[in-house]
Structure 1
Amino acid sequence: MKIEKISGLQLFYIMVGYELGTAIILGGGGEAKQDTWLVLVLGMLCSLIVMGVFIKLSTYYPDDTLIQMIPKIIGKYLSYPIIILYIGHFTYSAARACRELGDLILATILTETPIFVVIGSFMLLIVYCLCGGIESFGRMSEMVFPIYLFSLAVIWILLLSVEDFTTRNLTPVLGNGVKPVLNEVFPNRINFPFGETIIITMFFPFLSNKLNISKIGMLVVLVGGILLTINSIMLISTIGPEIYSGNYFQLLTATQMVSIADFLERFDAVVILMMVAGVFFKAGGWTFGAALAVSQLFKVKEMKPVLVALSTIIVPISLLSANNYIEHIEIGFDFFVPYVHTFLQIFIPILLFCIAFIRNKKLS
């Protein structure tokens, strides 16, 4: 397999875009209502510890992805079932991201278009980009992410013009007590979207300067968390905690309220394009991780056929994952995030870190 490299800035763009990806669509911490911003802050701070585990693993094995370091830590035969689980996790997560985008597009602008056409076209775009290699993905991030961030900032500014916008919607702080906040933080918010940055362990070996691993990893969590926190504050201030907690597309709903002098309005298209860009990073990151994992497990030198094969799996999985969007969300937050994510994104990495730490202590 050709050795490719990406810069620290490119990896930062990819991972922050990845972290925001579907989190911008799904919001988060809705059960905490006006304290959602606090859920995100606490989730971000706790997730710095999880990112620290990812960073230390990559520091112990700087030239290896997560899939390559697992056999070195727990042995060849024990590693196989764990690697298969991660491949399944990456693949299914890519399918979920595609499904979330597909449902968004169908609910807004392409209401008469079959969902498989939307998801299939989007997957084709991702595979086309990834077939150019990680360098192509990195260059794409340099073009797309600044525009994405600028669009998000513009939307926030426009929300200030909404007549109903008031920061009083954020009060009373902890009005429902601490329990709803902690219930949202553990385990949901740590796992989604912060814990999903485990995919960064599949990118670290391609970093041109590995001395920047710690800095990039921590900045990804901090910057992504701060942006999500600001976004939740702006949305709750605009639509209120009750609508926020019961709405599936909060950013879109809030943006539809923007009307400046009855002339500048209907910014829905900007929001949808921004969300498409975010899901591109999210689904692209998961797909790259899955394809690379399969290639390394079966020692496939060329990743393009693996990407094409995976795309033919991801699209049908996204369609069969749930009968509708509500069921899709329920499966995600009632089962997949609290159980599968916790096991694969927190428990296993911490266990691997402990074993790797002991091994390195013995060798030193």
Structure 2
Amino acid sequence: MPKERLSSVQLIFVIVSFLIGNTFMYNTGSGAKQDAWLVFLFTMIGGFILMYVYIKLCTYYPGESLVQIIPKVVGRLISYPIILLYIIYFIYLASKACRDFGELIAATILDETPIEVVIASFMVLIIYCLHGGVEVFGRMGEVVFPIYIIAIMIVWILLSTVDQFSIENLTPVLGNGMKPVLNEIFPTVLTFPFGESIIITMFIPLLQKGANLKIIGFSAIALTTFLLVTNIIMVLSVLGPEVYSDQFFPLLSATRMISIADFLERFDALIILMMVAGVFFKVGGWIYGAATGISQLLKLKQNKSVLLGLGTIIAPMALIIASNQIEYNEIGLELVPLYIHIPLQIVIPLLLLVIAFIRNKMEKKKS
């Protein structure tokens, strides 16, 4: 059976859609007030560094995913607990993104529909797509992403017509100094969304031959930053920093203020569809990473049966990770970045890269 392949453009679109995912939903960086857009702009540097670490690690072991690289770097015995950690990590983040989707839909357009039904239906759709193969996932990114960009640009243009729109809401720049910006950069924004680009290590082996990894990785980070920065600037210009901080779904709140001649209104439905598309790629990416990791760990020839099993685990897990929205936010914003994201996105990849670098140098000396 021929190995499935992704083109460079497909992978860029998938990774950007994955990174944006549920980031557009929330008031990320709101602790910096009117400088929230600077948080993402400055964090882009950290995003480039992390992407370089992930790509460089993969270049030492061409054609291998992160799960296949770890045993070759640290040895088979030590590698098993690390691989299991990453698989559990991918499953947890998939369930977390599912919960984000469920909370969004339950709070907006399907407020009388049980969140269990919403999440279960969404999971069936994702598993169905991934069951068709990663090429189907890549083609969806190639088709959906341009539509996504056009839609968000239309929303930005419409936001500029709102009476409350004022670019002065972004001033004074760094009026509270650099400390609030730095507090938002690390660990929150560096790990969400930029650190989540570690998922690219599971997709790199699927790339067509001759693809330039650095161009793909750095283009994905740059494009993600541009979209997030522009979006925050537009939303802040409409809502202002205080309202932006208080709103749970600030982009949705800003879009509801659009009214053209008291006739064209209710563009929030468009935003919800965009968010659904973004979360689809987020959840799909994590599930693919987990399924591939399990298949490679157990040396299975295909991951379709694993996908079905993961679907039955992730959907209920999304419901039990927190009893309510307040507890869910506390776990996701305070505990997860510090105790889960930093070790798995930054510390372990850096250690793997250092060990791989030393091994490579020693092998060159021997040869």
TM-score in same-fold range (> 0.5): yes
Q: Which amino acid aligns with 1:40?
A: F
The farther-off stretch of 350-359 and 175-184 is 175-184
TM-score (norm 1): 0.98
Alignment of 1:260-299 (within 5 A): 260-299=260-299
Q: Which amino acid aligns with 1:288?
A: Y
Q: Does 1:341 align with 2:341?
A: yes
Counterpart for residue 39 of structure 1: 39
Q: Does 1:300 align with 2:296?
A: no
2:27 and 2:247 in contact (8 A); partners too: no
Counterpart for residue 143 of structure 1: 143
1:100 and 1:325 in contact (8 A); partners too: no
Matches of 2:210 and 2:269, distance apart in 1: 39
Matches of 2:148 and 2:158, distance apart in 1: 15
Q: Which amino acid aligns with 1:120?
A: A
Q: Does 1:309 align with 2:319?
A: no
Q: Which amino acid aligns with 2:121?
A: S
Cα distance change, pair 210–247 in 1 and its aligned pair in 2 (3 A):
farther
Q: Does 1:188 align with 2:184?
A: no
Q: Which runs of 5+ in 2 are unaligned?
A: none
TM-score (norm 2): 0.98
2:8 and 2:211 in contact (8 A); partners too: no
The farther-off stretch of 329-338 and 158-167 is 329-338
The farther-off stretch of 346-355 and 20-29 is 20-29
1:235 and 1:254 in contact (8 A); partners too: yes
Matches of 2:227 and 2:289, distance apart in 1: 24
Alignment of 1:213-232 (within 5 A): 213-232=213-232
* SS of match in other structure, 1:119: helix
Cα deviations by residue, 1:294-324 (Å, 9 ceiling, x for unpaired): 1100111121110000011100110001122
Q: Which amino acid aligns with 2:74?
A: I
Q: Percent identity?
A: 55
The count of residues paired between Structure 1 and Structure 2 equals 364
Matches of 2:190 and 2:134, distance apart in 1: 27
Matches of 1:147 and 1:346, distance apart in 2: 33
Matches of 2:62 and 2:321, distance apart in 1: 36
Counterpart for residue 112 of structure 2: 112
- CA displacement at 1:325 relative to structure 2: 2.1
1:90 and 1:290 in contact (8 A); partners too: yes
1:62 and 1:210 in contact (8 A); partners too: no
- CA displacement at 1:2 relative to structure 2: 5.3
Counterpart for residue 254 of structure 1: 254
Q: Which amino acid aligns with 2:59?
A: T
- CA displacement at 1:3 relative to structure 2: 1.6
Alignment of 1:154-193 (within 5 A): 154-193=154-193
* SS of match in other structure, 1:16: helix
Counterpart for residue 71 of structure 2: 71
1:50 and 1:195 in contact (8 A); partners too: yes
Counterpart for residue 201 of structure 2: 201
Matches of 1:27 and 1:353, distance apart in 2: 33
Cα deviations by residue, 1:313-359 (Å, 9 ceiling, x for unpaired): 10011000112223212111101122200000000000000000011
Q: Which amino acid aligns with 2:105?
A: I
Counterpart for residue 14 of structure 1: 14
